[in-house]
Amino acid sequence: MRKLLFLLSLLFLATAVSGQVQYQVDTDEEKILKNTTVKLDCSNTCPGLSWSLSSGEKVLHVRDGQGEISDYDVNGDELDIPGRRFARQEERVLEIRTRIDREAEEIHEGLYKRTVQFSGFPDEETSGMIKSPKLLSGRVGFGFDMSFEDREMRFQGEGPVNVRLKSGEGYDTRYFSFFGDRPGDTEMAYEVPVGTTGLVQDFERFPVAVHTDESYDLNINDWSSGEYVAGSIQIRDQESLGGKFLPVLAHEVVHGLNDRELTWDQTSSSYFDEGTATYVEFLMEKKLYREGERDRPPRELFGDAVRYREGRHVYRVPPRGDSDQLWNYYQDEQDFMKYWNAHDSEGDTRSFGYAYSQLIIRNYISRMNGSLQDFYRELEVDQKVEDPEVKWEIYSGHLDMTPCDYDSRGKFEGCLEEINDYDYPVYSAEPDRDTKQLEIERLEVPELEKPSVSQVSEGEVTLTEFVKGFIDYIVMELSSFFKL
């Protein structure tokens, strides 16, 4: 009977009472201390309140304006607080102090993650401040604003929310906090993504966990080179990636920048996120190759193999994506790219998806003479989107989602050639966190010099050199295939 009366009081609360919630949280690698202030708007009678707790959350005390409340009940993950009558009062302020004794998960030596759950009233303000002595980054969901300063994170929005945090003490550079290896100059892997997109993350530095091949294969997956999740990057080390380290790091930074910008996207499809990330990766490869800091040039999209010279040898870099597969995709009126997700696909479909995703972006840049900075400014979505079909329509209003889709094979090939031959500009930016200004500049990149086979004289390469070159080529191709 008592439970029934309590439930009836909650029904009354939902129709007659609204409330704001404020949090103050202190957390480290071992525990979470949470101070919750619930402001209930009600008449002379405030009914009872059932407040959701996280798993393992222990109530330390509950009080309101009349003092300590001792007759509350905890039923599983619900805190039941009885109602009260007031002589002349329209607001009841509840103070709930709780503690969670749960260790944060260590995702790399010295780098930790944890998720903190915050209850709230639908369509009512929920705000809070999280303090942690080693706080690095965080992520909130759609509809919430957040900011970082001096190891503190503030958030504000409506309703309940989960906040994911990353903390630790790594090797700090200007834009990254590294755990594991300490790479050299990595500034360009941040400044090119920011300059290309015009986006800046809320927190100061990206935490980056650097793995050996063995560690990455075991803890992440065996097919990618890097991964971004909820405020941190995990990547293979320089020994494993060689000249691809900076391009892959830039790729993951774009995912980090998109993470905040695209919170409205609740679908699992990833073509836009991967398209922008692989485009910036391509720009980094282009810049490094033309400046002589990388031996291997970027690959064409659904095009021809690209030749490059290393010493006396000329190698061929296979294209990213098979043109016959793209042609058949259009001719057969397939549409799986609407739902494509890199993590859920395999083999040829995964490779095709990466190439197609980048083709959309490069087609936009080359044919529209546009920039991603302009695109992000134009893209305004003010509600959650869960239907991949709706998402596709939203992007179709700004992008050609089927680039080079012609009935003529000649026009199809010509379109791909134009996209591959376009000289894509490389932009850079150094954010000023004090003024919140972002000045974007176009970088000067040396002209491309394409080697030809005729540059290598017949008979100049010995049998030993030929065999070595052939082995190097095979190793390079296998590495490319397994670490796309």
In a domain, 460, yes or no: no
Q: How far apart are CA 440 and CA 191, in angstroms?
A: 9
Please give the average per-residue pLDDT across 278-292, as a whole number: 96
Q: Which of 143, 168, 193 is the last residue of a domain?
A: 168
Q: Per residue in 135-161, pLDDT tens? A: 999 999 899 999 999 899 999 999 999
Q: How far is CA 172 from CA 175, 186, 207, 238, 436, in A?
A: 8, 11, 9, 17, 21
Does one domain contain both 155 and 247? no
pLDDT at 463: 42
Does one domain contain both 195 and 296? yes
In a domain, 482, yes or no: no
Of 125-129, 170-174, 226-230, 445-449, minimum mean pLDDT range:
445-449
pLDDT at 460 over 70: no
Q: Report residue 203 as tokens.
A: 């927190």
Q: Report residue 376 as tokens.
A: 């992000």
Q: Which residues contact 387 (CB under 8 A, 6 or more apart)?
A: 267
Please give the average per-residue pLDDT across 395-422, as a whole number: 97
Q: Per residue in 296-340, pLDDT tens? A: 899 999 999 988 877 788 888 899 999 999 999 999 999 999 999
Taking the whole predicted model, whether its pTM rises above 0.85 is answered as yes
pLDDT at 480 over 70: no
Q: Per residue in 181-202, pLDDT tens? A: 899 899 999 999 999 999 999 9
Q: Which residues contact 185 (CB under 8 A, 6 or more apart)?
A: none
In a domain, 468, yes or no: no
Does one domain contain both 141 and 243? no
Q: Report residue 50 as tokens.
A: 């059932």
Alpha helices in 369-406 (DSSP H): 372-378, 388-396
pLDDT at 456: 38
In a domain, 250, yes or no: yes
pLDDT at 413: 97
pLDDT at 279: 98
In a domain, 467, yes or no: no
Q: How far is CA 173 from CA 108, 218, 308, in A?
A: 18, 27, 34
Does one domain contain both 102 and 198? no
Q: Which of 120, 143, 168 is the last residue of a domain?
A: 168
pLDDT at 351: 95
> What b/e readout covers 323-361, taking b as 16+ CB neighbours within 10 angstroms?
bebbbebeeeeeeebbbbbbeebeeeebbbbbbbbbbbb
By residue range, what is the domain housing residue 356? Answer: 180-306+317-450
pLDDT at 19: 84
Please give the average per-residue pLDDT across 126-134, as a whole number: 97
Does one domain contain both 186 and 210? yes
Residue 16: CATH number of its domain: 2.60.40.1730
Does one domain contain both 150 and 229? no
Please give the average per-residue pLDDT across 405-430, as a whole number: 96
Q: Per residue in 30-87, pLDDT tens? A: 999 999 999 988 766 787 899 999 999 999 999 998 899 999 999 999 999 998 776 5
pLDDT at 457 over 60: no
pLDDT at 105: 97
Is residue 316 within 8 Å of 305, Cβ to Cβ? Answer: yes
pLDDT at 362 over 80: yes
Q: Report residue 205 as tokens.
A: 């530095």
In a domain, 233, yes or no: yes
Band (pLDDT 50/70/90 cuts) for residue 368 is confident
As for how many domains the chain has, the answer is 2
User: Bigger pLDDT: 197 or 465?
Assistant: 197
Please give the average per-residue pLDDT across 404-432, as a whole number: 96
Q: Which residues contact 288 (CB under 8 A, 6 or more apart)?
A: 243, 246, 247, 294
Does one domain contain both 212 and 147? no
In a domain, 386, yes or no: yes
Does one domain contain both 192 and 254? yes
pLDDT at 466 over 60: no
Band (pLDDT 50/70/90 cuts) for residue 89 is low
Does one domain contain both 136 and 214? no
Please give the average per-residue pLDDT across 436-447, as a whole number: 90
pLDDT at 366 over 70: yes
Does one domain contain both 94 and 204? no
Q: How far apart are CA 182 and CA 194, in angstroms?
A: 22
In a domain, 265, yes or no: yes
Does one domain contain both 246 and 109? no
Residue 332, CB-side half-sphere exposure with 13 Å CA sphere: 9
- Return the H-helix or E-strand segment holding 338: none
Does one domain contain both 163 and 205? no
pLDDT at 6 over 50: no
pLDDT at 46: 80
